[in-house]
Amino acid sequence: METAPEPALEPAEERALERAGAVLAAEAARFAALGWMRGTSGNLSVVVGRSPLRLAVTASGLDKGELTASDAVLVDGDGAAVSGGRPSAEAALHARVVRLTGAGAVVHVHTVAAVAVAERRPAGIVFRDLEMLKGLGHPAHDEDVTLPVIANSQDMAALGDRLEAVRDPRMPAVVVAGHGLYVWGADARQARHHTEVVQWLLELELARR
């Protein structure tokens, strides 16, 4: 039995997806160069529509340092593909983060520091009295800021429930134990900046211990 072809995107949707794909390719190349998206690991997304919710997500199984503008898949508010290609298996979690936080972009990278520190701080990682906290919108002194840690799962609905249960609106990130780091922001640029700041904090924590 033949399957029905996917519906074609409207021209405006095609253009939006291509623009988003170019952004995702550029951001992925940055993270890959830092060694945070080794091999085909990690995934990125940006919101391209809110009503209904639509995200452009990096396609599954591709080297993140070699993506092009065409290597993005359009998904709906549940992370299911709307048109073209196979999205990351974690697209559903990206969509969940966007629905929970109102973010415009989500970054998922696999860094050694995130996994190593989460092993030592499974209840969450507390930061205080650091200038870099300003990069997350916090004062540099006299305030505790916690980066939550959640247990890993291959079930994106379960993982999303865990993220929702521990999410602190003051911290645009969460560590998935034994897996990596999820970070979000208003757009791809802010999500990248937040990722760089959180990774710096994790590397400092790792160096201290």
Domains of the chain: 11-208 (3.40.225.10)
Confidence of residue 6 (pLDDT cuts 50, 70, 90): low
pLDDT score of 5 more than 70: no
Least confident of 11-20, 65-74, 96-105, 193-202: 11-20
Residues 87-125 as b/e (b if ≥16 CB within 10 A, e otherwise) read: bbebbbbbbbbbeebebbbbbbbbbebbbebbeebeebb
pLDDT score of 4 more than 60: no
Q: How far is CA 195 from the centre of its chain?
A: 9
Give the HSE-up count for residue 50: Cα atoms under 13 Å, Cβ half-sphere: 7
CA 166, CA 18: separation in Å to the nearest integer?
A: 34
The alpha-carbon radius of gyration of the chain (Å, integer) is 17
Token output for 169: 């609106």
Question: Which of residues 91 and 84 earns the better pLDDT score?
Answer: 91
pLDDT, tens only, 150-208: 999 999 999 999 999 999 999 999 999 999 999 999 999 999 999 999 999 999 999 99
Q: How many residues does the chain have?
A: 209
Q: Output the average pLDDT for the chain.
A: 93
Among residues 177, 188, 119, the alpha carbon closest in space to that of 151 is found at 177
CA 113, CA 116: separation in Å to the nearest integer?
A: 5
Residue 19 CB coordination number (10 Å): 15
State percent of the chain over pLDDT 70.
96
Pairing of strands 173-176, 149-150: parallel
pLDDT score of 16 more than 70: yes
Confidence of residue 84 (pLDDT cuts 50, 70, 90): low
Residues 80-106: what's their mean pLDDT?
A: 92
pLDDT score of 30 more than 50: yes
pLDDT score of 33 more than 70: yes
pLDDT score of 32 more than 60: yes
What is the predicted pLDDT for the residue at 2?
Answer: 45
